[in-house]
């Protein structure tokens, strides 16, 4: 029989609490479903690793880490890195779109001023 260490228990319960918090944020429309899926998947993986000692031990041995907590930490770090890269790509795309919209707005303002000037001359 396998027993959970205090670290595993805290990690797993923390992951479950985070998953519930993410779902609450979605329910209150503070977080979009697009991002919530990533968070829920990550917290479920951490919770499964935290509650499943044989699986965690097997993955730890497979990866060659010294301790199970290092495995959970490595998965968390990988998730944070992937999430930062994903958000950076989204932010870059929004920056490009914002720049294009700013240029388009400037052209429309210029055309509007030209129309106003022409209509003012005719009156």
Residues 9-65 pLDDT 10s: 888 888 889 889 988 998 999 988 888 888 888 888 888 877 888 888 899 999 999
Q: Cα–Cα distance between 4 and 10 in angstroms, integer?
A: 10
| φ, ψ at 3 (rounded to 5°) | -115, 150
Q: Is the backbone of residue 32 left (phi > 0), alpha (psi -120 to 50) or beta?
A: beta
Distance CA 79, CA 15 (A): 13
Domain ranges of the chain: 6-122
What is the C-alpha separation between 12 and 43, in angstroms, rounded? Answer: 8
The residue among 16, 8, 38 whose CA lies nearest residue 26 is 38
Question: Residue 123's pLDDT is what?
Answer: 45
This prediction has a pTM of 0.65
C-alpha 119/C-alpha 10 separation (Å) is: 72
């Amino acid at each position: 029989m396998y027993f959970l260490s205090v670290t595993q228990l805290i990690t797993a319960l923390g992951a479950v609490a985070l998953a519930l918090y993410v779902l609450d944020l979605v329910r209150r429309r503070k977080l979009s479903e697009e991002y919530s899926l990533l968070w829920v998947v990550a917290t479920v993986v951490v919770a499964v690793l935290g509650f499943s000692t044989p699986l965690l031990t097997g993955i730890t041995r497979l990866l060659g880490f010294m301790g199970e907590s290092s495995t959970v930490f490595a998965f968390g770090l990988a998730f944070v890195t992937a999430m930062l890269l994903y958000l950076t790509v989204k932010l870059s795309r929004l920056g490009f779109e914002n720049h294009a919209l700013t240029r388009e707005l400037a052209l429309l303002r210029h055309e509007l001023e030209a129309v106003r000037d022409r209509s003012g001359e005719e009156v």
